Structure 1
Amino acid sequence: MTEPSAAFVHPYLPNSAPEVRREMLDAVGAASVDEFYADVPEALRLGRPLELPAPLLAEQDLARHVRGLLAKNRSTEDRLSFLGHGTYRHYVPAVVDEVINRSEFLTAYAGEPYEDHGRFQALFQYQSLMAELLAMDVVNVPTYDGYQATATALAMAGRLTGRRRVLVVSDVLPEKHSKVHDFVRVHLELELVPTAGGTADVAAAAARLGDDVAAIWVETPSATGAVEAALPALATAAHAAGALLVVGTDPIGYGVLTPPAEQGADVVCGDIQSLGLHQWFGGAHGGFIAVADDEALVMELPSRLFGLASTDVPGEVGFGDVAYERTSFARREEGKEWVGTAAALWGIAAGVYLALMGPAGMAELGELLLARTRYAQQRLAAVPGVRLGDDALHLREFTVDVSGTGRSAAELVAALRAEGIEPGIVVGEELLLVCVTELTGQADIDRLATCLAAACGTPSDRQIPQEQRA
């Protein structure tokens, strides 16, 4: 954080006047604004003022400036994209956007039953559909995102067991691991257990279990799209040590994959972005936490739950909070965790999506994703110098090792971008993470493979200008 000039007064921020700033700092006993950011590591601080234009006095000038910035964006609708890494491009039926743009949903920030207009019922239906998909009994109203949901799930395990250590046995998105660590670091310690062949090393995990372990944390699909095959063994090992099995997952594949709950998971959590939410420029995200109908587990959920409630009219039911007394809304600072603005609108979107798809639709989608993923793996692995990152079963994402091509992953990405293709995410100097969805056709995958092969020509070929090649 860099302090502005003492004489600087921002035209849009009235409290930027020097005398007002000084009065505010004096009131809280701070010497400078920097003191409020003491917990933010220096490596994460910008260290310079933001690169903002001079204040624009007319609204139309400001609007023009912002339009110019937005025009620099290129969406995954405009280019052939194989980008995933936590935010995915799945098809969103038009009716999903139509429903969530209705005013009673779009603007119902925190309405109570008398002003709700169906929001509680819509969220109850979302919870019910998610519970059926995940083979669980209880699903919460969405948290901000899957990162928060995972952190909360681990915090629940810590509270239930009274223990501090968590074994992380899967490859986790670095951003997710960082966010979860920040959330739980006061109460829990995250201990990484190396994976084997892309999935969990059960023997290594079991060897590290002890009476101080609160949970084993598994991601399936993992950060590289690997589907975990050893959940039952991990559940057995965790339970024998008095720990919980917390599974972070994406629900998109459970039309065909066996849900973690049926493999011994105690808490299942993740993100609903794949269920009817757009990729946009970073996506719309909402987190879910699913548990069995066990009072000990349910009472540790900090977020709201909606259920059926009787009314004064015989035969009629309403929808209201379940176990409201456990939330911070009711208990304030004595709540399990503080719960404020949630992502309830995205829960309604996911509910509409699941209702449209139904069990048959989700099964068909899951089969298609597995087939497309395998086809893409085979086509890219056939490119000379390219091989798969591991031999695990993958859903939607996988890594390719390009070390045999003589070019780095970043160089290949730059070459394919010149062809209008976003080939994936660089996750290592010679490792590329590729993502396919139902919107990625066979011809798209073939084009990626062809262009990748062209970009992986021999070093001598790459020295010849394109126009001189045969």
Structure 2
Amino acid sequence: MTATPPSGPAPRAAQAPHAHPYIPNSAPEVKRAMLEAIGAAGVEDFYADIPEELRLRRPLDLPAPLRSEAQLVRHVGGLLARNTSTREVLSFLGAGCYPHHVPAVVDEVVNRSEFLTAYAGEPYEDHGRFQAMWEYQSLMAELLAAEVVNVPVYDGFQAAGTALRMAGRCTGRARVLAVSDTGPDKLSKVVDYLRPEHQLVTVPVRADGRADLDAVRAELAAGDVAAVWAEAPGYAGLVDEGLPELGELAHAAGALYVVGCNPASLGVLAPPSSYGADIACGDIQPLGIHMSYGGGNAGFVATQDDERLVAEFPTRLFGLVPTAVEGEYGFGDVAFERTSFAVREEGKEWVGTAAALHGIAAGVYLSLMGPHGMRELGETVLARTAYAKQRLADVPGVAIPHADAVHFADFPVRFTGSRTAGEVNAALRERGIFGGAVRTDRDPREALYCVTETHTADDIDLLADTLKEIAQ
């Protein structure tokens, strides 16, 4: 017998308009009905706010569709194999995503099916997630010397934007002052998150990297500032001694004081609430969350138990409540009607899926570390950072800006020889080392290098010795 070859699929041009097999809304007739229902002429109406310079205006350069799972696995595996992770080479990258040690217990707990598959966390499939989030909030509150901490939002960038919008709602004012050295990506995200109700004004820092108190005072004189926003430490890791005075200036002008902080530093640095911050915010990635190729982020917002502030939290808050059984407690939402989960478009802000699994990871990490462990972590990072600054300052062709300041984890390095920071990074990569994050927002010869407790003195010595060969 002669087998008849199977006929292949019809050519694309002869097929009906494409509908994705797993996305019902991609069917043309469904799209049409949805647009008619809301009175939109087309999908383009939804993108009217996106600036023209951000639009591609051409189809994405994508490969042909893969028709089987086996093909997809092979293709994605090949793409991933092109990456080199920070676990494979010595890395000094930081600038917001840090290489801290993640205890094995953290991964063991968060990969349990009760947590890993509890997407929304409602009672019918919760299996203890509400309690786990309450425990996380309690541990974070102790670390931050605060009384109210939210369920994590997407990342520290969103947490900063949320904290500043909270300040705007509390004060009824529109302007926000960014007074610290802040990364360009974070500034861009916060500007976008605040508009159109609020305007972010960036107050340039002094030549030594610290906040310019006189410039801040001048901006506050107008009486229309909702919040003074400082970072502790700043983008370049600098710890500013002027942080308490910034809070005094803000409060004297009727503004709130918002401080973004690295939670891993709070075993050795004072929490923002101790020097006047009304709202603290930041990213919990340093607390037991893997770098994940630059991901693995989740944001926190923290305040004292002030009804005015608590009413402005747009995110979920879990509280402890007694049950009908004496001695037993339950865990549930506090003032759920504040959120967009309850009132949708009438919510304080639109808040979608929380990064709750990362919050559970941070809770496990904090419970393992305890106060003594967090202090030991902070002391180790401070000591390693100081040692790295000292070693690199002795390298010809390398200068350490603001060398007299206290830096935590991140610190700036300026290359004074013939190579830019990017060129130095390329030479380091050839030797199996990831250099620092180049400060493209400031000086192409400057980069932010990072050391944590995972770096040994030998690692730092190797970096210094290698830079001696390539930095001049």
Compute the TM-score of the two structures, normalised by the length of structure 1.
Answer: 0.92
> In structure 2, the residue corresponding to 1:217 is in which secondary structure?
strand
Instruction: Say whether residues 1:142 and 2:142 are aligned partners.
Output: no
Instruction: Say whether residues 1:194 and 2:207 are aligned partners.
Output: no
What displacement does 1:113 show? 3.4
Partners of 1:414 and 1:54 in 2: CA distance? 33
Using a 3 Å threshold, how does the CA distance of structure 1 residues 59 and 106 change in structure 2: closer, same or farther? closer
The amino acid of 1:426's aligned partner reads V
What displacement does 1:18 show? 7.0
Stretch of structure 1 that moved more, 327-336 or 131-140? 327-336
Partners of 2:359 and 2:346 in 1: CA distance? 27
Q: Sequence identity of aligned pairs in percent? A: 62
Deviations 1:167-216 (A, max 9, x none): 11011111111111111111111111111211211122112103100010
Stretch of structure 1 that moved more, 50-59 or 305-314? 50-59
Deviations 1:37-91 (A, max 9, x none): 2222222223332222122333322221111111111110011101112111110
Who is 1:461 aligned against? none
The amino acid of 1:306's aligned partner reads F
Deviations 1:131-158 (A, max 9, x none): 1111111111111111111101000100
Using a 3 Å threshold, how does the CA distance of structure 1 residues 5 and 212 change in structure 2: closer, same or farther? farther
Partners of 1:203 and 1:405 in 2: CA distance? 35
Who is 1:323 aligned against? 335
Partners of 1:17 and 1:258 in 2: CA distance? 55
Using a 3 Å threshold, how does the CA distance of structure 1 residues 262 and 17 change in structure 2: closer, same or farther? closer
Instruction: Say whether residues 1:208 and 2:208 are aligned partners.
Output: no
Instruction: Say whether residues 1:439 and 2:438 are aligned partners.
Output: no
Query: Following superposition of structure 1 onto structure 2, how do residues 23-172 of structure 1 map, counting pairs within 5 Å?
Result: 33-113=43-123, 115-172=125-182
Using a 3 Å threshold, how does the CA distance of structure 1 residues 5 and 445 change in structure 2: closer, same or farther? farther
Deviations 1:84-121 (A, max 9, x none): 12111110000001101111111112233354221111
Partners of 1:331 and 1:64 in 2: CA distance? 44
Asked whether the equivalents of residues 113 and 320 of structure 1 are also in contact (C-alpha less than 8 Å), the reply is no
The amino acid of 1:303's aligned partner reads T
Deviations 1:326-347 (A, max 9, x none): 2222233222112221111111
Who is 1:463 aligned against? none
The amino acid of 1:267's aligned partner reads I
The amino acid of 1:349's aligned partner reads A
Partners of 2:79 and 2:274 in 1: CA distance? 48
What displacement does 1:17 show? 7.1
> In structure 2, the residue corresponding to 1:248 is in which secondary structure?
strand
The amino acid of 1:206's aligned partner reads R
Partners of 1:291 and 1:246 in 2: CA distance? 10
What displacement does 1:33 show? 4.2
Deviations 1:13-54 (A, max 9, x none): 687677776776666665654443222222222333222212
> In structure 2, the residue corresponding to 1:175 is in which secondary structure?
helix
Asked whether the equivalents of residues 11 and 55 of structure 1 are also in contact (C-alpha less than 8 Å), the reply is no
Partners of 1:226 and 1:5 in 2: CA distance? 59
Stretch of structure 1 that moved more, 96-105 or 331-340? 331-340
Partners of 1:6 and 1:267 in 2: CA distance? 59
The amino acid of 2:134's aligned partner reads F
Instruction: Say whether residues 1:370 and 2:385 are aligned partners.
Output: no
Partners of 1:17 and 1:47 in 2: CA distance? 23
1:298 to 297, 300, 310: 310
Asked whether the equivalents of residues 7 and 18 of structure 1 are also in contact (C-alpha less than 8 Å), the reply is no
Who is 1:281 aligned against? 293
Partners of 2:471 and 2:27 in 1: CA distance? 58
> In structure 2, the residue corresponding to 1:285 is in which secondary structure?
coil
Who is 2:418 aligned against? 406
Instruction: Say whether residues 1:426 and 2:438 are aligned partners.
Output: yes
Partners of 1:6 and 1:225 in 2: CA distance? 59
Partners of 1:29 and 1:120 in 2: CA distance? 40
What displacement does 1:229 show? 1.5
Partners of 1:450 and 1:359 in 2: CA distance? 36
2:427 to 401, 415, 418: 415
Partners of 2:454 and 2:193 in 1: CA distance? 35
Stretch of structure 1 that moved more, 426-435 or 235-244? 426-435
The amino acid of 1:307's aligned partner reads G
Using a 3 Å threshold, how does the CA distance of structure 1 residues 301 and 61 change in structure 2: closer, same or farther? same
Who is 1:397 aligned against? 410
> In structure 2, the residue corresponding to 1:332 is in which secondary structure?
helix
Partners of 1:271 and 1:356 in 2: CA distance? 19
> In structure 2, the residue corresponding to 1:405 is in which secondary structure?
coil
What displacement does 1:163 show? 0.4
Unaligned ranges ≥5, structure 2: 1-11
Compute the TM-score of the two structures, normalised by the length of structure 2.
Answer: 0.91
Asked whether the equivalents of residues 415 and 455 of structure 1 are also in contact (C-alpha less than 8 Å), the reply is yes
The amino acid of 1:451's aligned partner reads T
Using a 3 Å threshold, how does the CA distance of structure 1 residues 409 and 137 change in structure 2: closer, same or farther? same
Partners of 1:325 and 1:278 in 2: CA distance? 34
Stretch of structure 1 that moved more, 364-373 or 204-213? 204-213
Asked whether the equivalents of residues 9 and 16 of structure 1 are also in contact (C-alpha less than 8 Å), the reply is no
What displacement does 1:247 show? 0.3
Stretch of structure 1 that moved more, 436-445 or 35-44? 35-44
The amino acid of 1:422's aligned partner reads F
Instruction: Say whether residues 1:237 and 2:263 are aligned partners.
Output: no
Partners of 1:15 and 1:106 in 2: CA distance? 27
